[in-house]
Amino acid sequence: MMTMSEDQFTPLLSRIADALDRLAPPAAAGNNLTAADAFVWQADGDRLVPVHKVNRIPIDLLKGIDRQTETLFDNTRRFATGLPANNALLWGARGTGKSSLVKAVHAEINRQTPGILALVELHREDISSLPRLLSTVRDGGRNCLIFCDDLSFDALDDSYKSLKAVLEGGVEGRPDNVIFYATSNRRHLMARDMIENERSTAIHTSEAVEEKVSLSDRFGLWLGFHNCDQKTFFAIIEGYARRIGLDDPSINLEAEAKEWAVTRGARSGRVAWQYIQDLAGRLGKPIDLE
């Protein structure tokens, strides 16, 4: 039987080690919470992707939601400065400024005290990865506002159970440096037909309904949003028009705004913004809200 000398064996080991290095996946990049003021969580890979330019509207352009703005701003500022604060659920009609308010409040907090608060967006479909996200940011050395837009749960979706545990009821609980904000079209985060189905099929109907509805109770702060009246709708449009400089004597701003709202069947901040984009395009003016 042929034996290898040490001089022959060492190069062979080196070649095997080099081959294994080439086959191994690259090491995951570290998640640095100081890389930006905003991030998107990518559950596939457990990565925080920095966002250096957030798609947002300045807080002074949000009209008709003064009470909601003041309440959410105060809650967020308390959290950012190390004081107790509540998880928040912003619920109500589509396009009424829920997600815009969260991003605007975050930006204003950081404008007043640069770098004090990180915003981390968690996509609805990645809710089950929330415990991993919390582990990632727990020791990141920075206060984090985790934000989930358009949160809701449908039949057979049991990921709400992990969210309940993370928000308040788990062994570890919510880290001291984390607060959770969510927006939803539903006050109880579940469709009405889901509630009715639970009542009609469960053996203990009250317990079955309570199990799902109680998710909303984990949010200490509830803020409702509703479609605005005509006066507020026009105030939103005027604010945008002044900021962007959409002055043209040939444009009857109020008449066009009314017609736009009628064709969309609603008056909301989103509808107002869609009109402004159309108007700016017609006038050949770029949009810069800063």
Where do the domains of the chain lie?
Answer: 38-225, 230-283
pLDDT at residue number 31: 84
Segments of the chain scoring below 70 in pLDDT: 1-13, 16-30, 155-159, 161-162, 165, 168-173, 188, 190-214
Contacts of the segment 276-285: beta carbons below 8 A, 24+ positions apart: 276/237, 276/240, 276/241, 276/244, 276/246, 279/241, 279/246, 279/251, 280/244, 280/246, 283/246, 283/248, 283/251, 285/244, 285/245, 285/246
Cα angle 16, 18, 23; round to 5: 95
Which residue, among 165, 234, 160, has the nearest Cα to 191 in the 3D structure? Answer: 160
- Contact in structure between 185 and 91 (CB atoms under 8 Å): yes
pLDDT at residue number 239: 94
pLDDT at residue number 216: 76
Which residue, among 32, 122, 113, has the nearest Cα to 77 in the 3D structure? Answer: 113
pLDDT at residue number 164: 75
Architecture of domain 38-225: 3-Layer(aba) Sandwich (3.40)
